[in-house]
């Protein structure tokens, strides 16, 4: 199976009060996130994980954060999706218009 991942922005809806531990002992918190499905455009809510080290930076309910969805196989060999949420917030990228810039025109249009 190929490594299937997707990065997206997710709104934090709720977070567990206490951390859990992964099979390797890494601490994380279960949470619920809301996001626009990159595949369908629908608004969805799903459970996800926040690594405890990320949570320690201070995350707030209602704020949007960078998230990653990744496919993995469970013990029965069934494909599942694991969502992890970062403490990093996704800001909107600056546009050319924000700074009054114009797009550069290549000297050789065949190079585009």
- Best CA proximity match to 34, nearest among 71, 80, 72, 65: 65
Query: Is residue 76 in some structural domain?
Result: yes
Dist CA 7 CA 5 (whole Å): 7
Report how far residue 85's alpha carbon sits from residue 45's, in angstroms, rounded to the nearest whole number: 13
pLDDT at 99: 78
69 forms bridges with which residues in the sheet? Answer: 6, 83
The mean pLDDT value for 3-26 works out to 93
pLDDT in tens, 32-89: 999 998 888 899 999 999 999 999 999 999 999 999 999 988 889 899 999 999 998 8
pLDDT at 101: 79
Whether 61 is covered by a domain: the verdict is yes
Rounded to two decimals, the pTM is 0.75
- Is 38 a domain residue? yes
CATH assignment of the domain containing 72: 2.40.50.140
44 contacts 68 by C-beta, under 8 angstroms: no
């Amino acid at each position: 199976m190929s490594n299937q991942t997707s990065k997206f922005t997710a709104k934090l809806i709720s977070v567990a009060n206490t951390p859990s531990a992964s099979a390797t002992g890494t601490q994380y918190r279960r949470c619920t996130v809301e996001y626009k499905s990159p595949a369908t455009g629908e608004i969805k809510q799903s459970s996800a994980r926040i690594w405890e080290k990320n949570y320690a930076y201070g995350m707030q309910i209602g704020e949007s954060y960078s998230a990653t969805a990744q496919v993995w196989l469970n013990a029965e060999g069934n494909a599942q999706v694991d969502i992890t949420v970062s403490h990093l917030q996704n800001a909107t990228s600056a546009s050319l218009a924000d700074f009054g810039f114009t797009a550069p025109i290549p000297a050789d249009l065949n190079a585009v």
